[in-house]
Amino acid sequence: MAESTGAARPTRRTVLKTAAVTAGGAALAPRTAVAAGAGEVAAGPGETAVVTLSVNGKRRAVEVEPRVTLLDALRERLGLTGTKKGCDRGECGACTVLVDGERVKSCLTLAVMRQGSEITTIEGLAQGERLHPVQEAFIRHDAFQCGGCTSGQIMSAVACIDEGHAGSDQEIREWMSGNLCRCACYQNIVAAVADAAKGARS
Amino acid sequence: MTELVGRSVARVDGRAKVTGAAIYAADQPVPDALHGVLVMSTVARGEVLRIDASAALAHPGVVAVLTHRDLPKLVVPHFPYVKRFIPMQGTAVHHVGQPVAIVLATTLEQAQEGAALVSVDYRAEKPSVVIDDAREPAFLPQPFRDRPNEIRRGDAASALREAPVRLEARYSSATRHHNPIEPHTTTARWDGDRVTLFESAQGVLVTRTVVATAFGLPPESVRVVAPYLGGGFGAKGPGWPHTLLTAAAARVARRPVRLVLSRAQMYTSAGHRAEYRQHLRIGATREGRLTAIAETSTAQLTATEDSVFNRSDSTIGLYTCPNLHVRHEGVRLDVASSSYMRSPETTSHFGLETALDELSWQLSIDPLELRRRNHAEFNQETGERLTSKRLLECYAMAAERFGWARRQPRTGATKDGDEYVGWGMATETHTFAAMPSTASVTVGVDGKALAQLATQDIGTGTYTVVTQIVADALGLPLRDVQAQIGDSALPPAGLSAASATIPSISGSVDQAARAARDAVVALAVADRHSPLFGAAPAEIETRDGRLVHLRDRHRHDTYRAVVGRAGEPVRRTATVLNQGGHTYGVVFLEARVHARFGSVRVTRVVTAHDLGRVMNRRTARGQVLGGVTWGIGHALMEHTVFDRNTGRVVNPNLSTYLVPVNADAPPEVETLFVDKPDPASTAMGARGFGETPITGVPAAIGNAIYHATGRRLRDLPITQDKLL
Ligand code: FES
Ligand code: FES
């Protein structure tokens, strides 16, 4: 194990903060600031705020730094790992969730900005054992392979249908193009969305 | 009695995947894990002089910054670890994006910020990163994985000289990256001298071997867990440095460490399809029969290794040709190692199938007819008859469905609105491997079956096919069978790469399940409490979870009752070996080229493939859909761009490295299968398939563009600017 050089600027030598490591996980005590109300947030590196997020119908308090994305709050703090991170920069759609019913790439929005919103993730779509019609349609039409994009595709599809952008295969192809599928199940995704949309209309 | 195998059974892992319940490597909860983020070199060639971690260490939550000075010495593993060095073992820098430090912090954000705060000084030399800038001429590398890089048959030089018809052309393609949607990730947790890795791996066992070798551990001290994988396409097959560095960091820090590569880091961390040039010379008779092929390819290699991943297997053996000379050459460049990427043989096959199209125009012979005339009935290297090759049937089925007979034998003949319409075709073929695999099947006291083996499902349908096989062999409903895979603690089996999963595991799973069935039947007929007591085992049929006497159907029992009375599960294990080979098919497609913008759309596709027995129609079709769209990406958009001065990747993201989106995929793909069991396959008549569909698509698109416009493009990708 490396050690601290003791030099004023610990250059040239890599430094472990030996104490923190050898203490077997006694992490640095975080400096915590509690936000007084929704939207009021502490700033500064390392400072955290407790925010309340409403996810899948449950209100949950979560302590985050202001820079934490909604995606990382869901995955790393709330244990909702059904939402996936593919690119962390708004390009793939794997992290799509619904915020007040609209599809949002959760890697492009901060958790602190979404206090007071109703967030729906893939875990919140089924009613108990009963799958959402879009989830069922995805299985029926084999609209996934590896599943890496699937949570995002399904959330996006739910919104796409709600928006009225699932009127034809051509329309679905365009309005589902913000969600990449590297396995390229695209024809089956279109079929699943069209099928679920038909059900939603009837 | 087969009921489920061969049918279009819905994926058994579907529910887990559509509800978010499927646990991928980075989803695995590991208490107390630190987040690790790699600091990558920003120079392509040189040396690390100084690393200043002070600002990073001052950042709240940062626990450690580890460099080459801190890590234990590791042993460089042999293949499948393709990089012949491990970063952070010294100061040398061989490419941009080589790890030079790893920052560990309590939260992900702290680790990311910490990594940005590490400052590194380098001694940098001018790099060469593209084939045009190579410092040395191309050379013939040593054999790779025991296969030589020079192949000769007959006398290609003389045959070319004497050929009545000759064709010479140069083809090329850019660097490509796999870009699975799930980034590579490792979580390492040590427990004394044992380590568990939650890993995005296409092969838990090969990853185990790589890690055990690097740390000098016995394989049983390493456990690799990967029940689900968010795409691999070859990128997650070999072992890569980030896995070893994460494990090393966790060991030093004495805490579990989780590391997820950023999308940008994936462009230098886990291989790619190498930049590639191909010089082809073909000799033929006036009737279009090939008499000679001479091919020299040049691939990007690196300063540290010279593996050629994109071999010219189809040039060597797809068609009958008595005289052949193939050389796989390469040049050393200051870039990260390349590796296998979905269907590596596509790279050279584009040239061969384009050249055949060119020859067909030169001779005024229909391109399909030209391929028929050169159809190989014998293995070109061994002379053995290819008994179960049904490529001609594929040609006939797909041509008929596509309406190929109506093709206009002129270029630029069809215009629809603003677009020229062209038709193209190409043969598809790829090699598949078969790897020794053991499977166990257990019938529990609840009458349900569990199949276990250390293979993977990378989206190709392994869970489902294993479940189908076991359900059929035992006579159980699908819901009473479960497959457990993706854990190195399970019986050893092949990885999901080289189209090898189905041909490697199916025979073993089937035999283990049949043995388990026979064992339960034996229990029943020996059990006084069973209505089947005293019956001959051959007279028992198993179906729907029941054991029924064939002649006296009133006598029946159930798995649950028989095994329940016995009081302990019945477990059987089997290993059935198989051989690799080739799988064939054909693709016909229609492309439309915009007269003013040069944009290309693929609007109609028909494929036919012979993969022996089709185990599951819908997962097989899924491979074709994926392959066709990958072929479109390969032909029309994907290319990684390097800055020639710095060696940096200019487009390491998904907004400038374009992969096909939904609207780019052809609205309609008809997927036909011959579906006849291959008698030579011990995998229930199935052959490996995943990588075959795609191989012909790039050439078919280029051939269709030529048909549409009269313009022959030999450099991939055919981006819009090339058609203006
Ligand atoms: S992870 Fe958010 S769009 Fe890719
Ligand atoms: S299912 Fe694999 S990326 Fe879409």
What 8-state DSSP symbol labels residue B385?
B
CATH number, residue B194 = 3.90.1170.50
Q: How far is the CA of A185 from the centre of ligand 1 (A)?
A: 18
E strands, B478-569, where?
481-484, 540-543, 546-549, 556-558
Write down the pTM of the prediction: 0.94
Q: Domain A14-86+99-121 falls in which CATH fold?
A: Ubiquitin-like (UB roll) (3.10.20)
Q: Strand, coil or helix: what is B720? A: helix
CA triplet B297, B303, B307: central angle to 5 degrees? 45
Domain definitions of chain A by residue range: 14-86+99-121, 133-201
* Any B CB within 8 A of A66 CB: no
Pairing outcome for strands B46-52 and A118-120: unpaired
Q: How far is the CA of B100 from the centre of ligand 2 (A)?
A: 32
B461/A46 Cβ within 8 A: no
- pLDDT at residue B3, rounded to an integer: 84
Q: Tell me which of B272 and A15 has the higher pLDDT.
A: B272
**Which of B7, B19, B607 has the most A C-beta neighbours within 10 Å, making it the best mutation to test the interface with A?**
B19
Going by pLDDT thresholds of 50, 70 and 90, the confidence category of residue A32 is very low
B665/A186 Cβ within 8 A: yes
In the structure, how many helices (H) and strands (E) does chain B have? Answer: 16, 28
Whether residue A31 has pLDDT greater than 50: no
B653/A142 Cβ within 8 A: no
The answer on B491 and B442 residing in a single domain is yes
Average pLDDT over residues A91-116: 97
Report whether the peptide linkage leading into residue B717 is cis, meaning its omega lies within 30 degrees of zero: yes
The number of folded domains in chain B is: 3
The answer on B438 and B554 residing in a single domain is yes
The answer on B226 and B190 residing in a single domain is yes
Q: Which domain holds residue B225?
A: 32-125+181-231+236-269
Q: Domain A133-201 falls in which CATH fold?
A: DNA polymerase; domain 1 (1.10.150)
Q: Strand, coil or helix: what is B188? A: strand
CB of A92 closer than 6 A to ligand 1? Answer: yes
Cα(B421)–Cα(B411) distance, integer angstroms: 9
The answer on B716 and B590 residing in a single domain is yes
Q: Strand, coil or helix: what is B361? A: helix
Among B249, B269, B289, residue at a domain's last position: B269
Whether residue A91 has pLDDT greater than 60: yes
CATH number, residue B344 = 3.30.365.10
The answer on B82 and B222 residing in a single domain is yes
Among B576, B594, B624, residue at a domain's last position: B576
- Residue B522 included in any domain: yes
State the burial class of residue B646 (Cβ atoms within 10 Å of its Cβ: 0-12, 13-18, 19+).
middle
- Residue B331 included in any domain: yes
Are B141 and B330 within 8 A, CB to CB?
yes
Q: Which residues of B are the active-site residues? A: 691
* Any A CB within 8 A of B601 CB: no
**Which of A83, A122, A140, A183 has the most B C-beta neighbours within 10 Å, making it the best mutation to test the interface with B?**
A183
Q: Please identify, by atom number, the ligand 2 atom nearest to the C-alpha of residue A183.
A: 2
Are B230 and B5 within 8 A, CB to CB?
no
Whether residue A29 has pLDDT greater than 50: no
B32/A187 Cβ within 8 A: no
**Which of B17, B121, B262, B697 has the most A C-beta neighbours within 10 Å, making it the best mutation to test the interface with A?**
B17
- Residue B322 included in any domain: yes
Half-sphere exposure of B92 (CA within 13 A, CB side): 7
Region of residue B713 (phi > 0: left; psi between -120 and 50: alpha; otherwise: beta): beta
For residue range B111-120, list pLDDT tens digits in order.
999 999 999 9
Half-sphere exposure of B575 (CA within 13 A, CB side): 9
List B592's β-bridge partners, or say none: B421, B601
Mean pLDDT for all residues in chain A: 84
* SS3 sequence of B421-484: EEEEEEEEEEEECCCCCEEEEEECCCCCEEEECECCCCCCCHHHHHHHHHHHHHCCCHHHEEEE
The answer on B598 and B529 residing in a single domain is no
CA triplet A27, A32, A37: central angle to 5 degrees? 150
The answer on B200 and B308 residing in a single domain is no
Tokens of B378: 């014998």
- pLDDT at residue A28, rounded to an integer: 34
By Cβ distance, the residue of A31, A72, A145 closest to B626 is A145
- pLDDT at residue A43, rounded to an integer: 54
Whether residue A17 has pLDDT greater than 60: no
- pLDDT at residue A16, rounded to an integer: 39
- pLDDT at residue A45, rounded to an integer: 64
ipTM > 0.95, yes or no? yes
Tokens of A118: 């109703």
For the ranges A27-41, A168-182, B157-171, B655-669, the lowest mean pLDDT is seen at: A27-41
In the structure, how many helices (H) and strands (E) does chain A have? Answer: 6, 6
- Residues of chain A with Cβ-Cβ distance to B24 below 8 Å are 81, 84, 147-148
A146/B231 Cβ within 8 A: yes
- Residue B155 included in any domain: no
- Residue B377 included in any domain: yes
- Residue B149 included in any domain: no
The answer on B392 and B303 residing in a single domain is yes
Average pLDDT over residues A168-187: 98
Pairing outcome for strands B34-40 and B99-105: antiparallel
Q: Strand, coil or helix: what is A42? A: coil
The answer on B628 and B533 residing in a single domain is no
A25/B32 Cβ within 8 A: yes
* Any B CB within 8 A of A142 CB: yes
* Any B CB within 8 A of A118 CB: no
- Residue B146 included in any domain: no
CA triplet A194, A196, A199: central angle to 5 degrees? 110
The answer on B116 and B251 residing in a single domain is yes
Q: Strand, coil or helix: what is A70? A: helix
Q: Strand, coil or helix: what is A47? A: strand
Average pLDDT over residues A88-104: 98
- pLDDT at residue A38, rounded to an integer: 40
* Residue (of B54, B56, B61) closest to B34 by Cα position: B61
- Residue B147 included in any domain: no
Are B428 and B692 within 8 A, CB to CB?
yes
* SS3 sequence of B641-696: CECCCCCCECCCCCCCCCCCCHHHCCCCEEEEECCCCCCCCCCCCECCCCCCCCCC
By Cβ distance, the residue of A20, A30, A185 closest to B63 is A20
- Chain A to chain B Cβ contacts (< 8 Å): 249
Going by pLDDT thresholds of 50, 70 and 90, the confidence category of residue A44 is low
- pLDDT at residue A199, rounded to an integer: 87
Q: What parts of chain B have a pLDDT lower than 70? A: 1-2
The answer on B475 and B552 residing in a single domain is yes
The answer on B680 and B609 residing in a single domain is yes
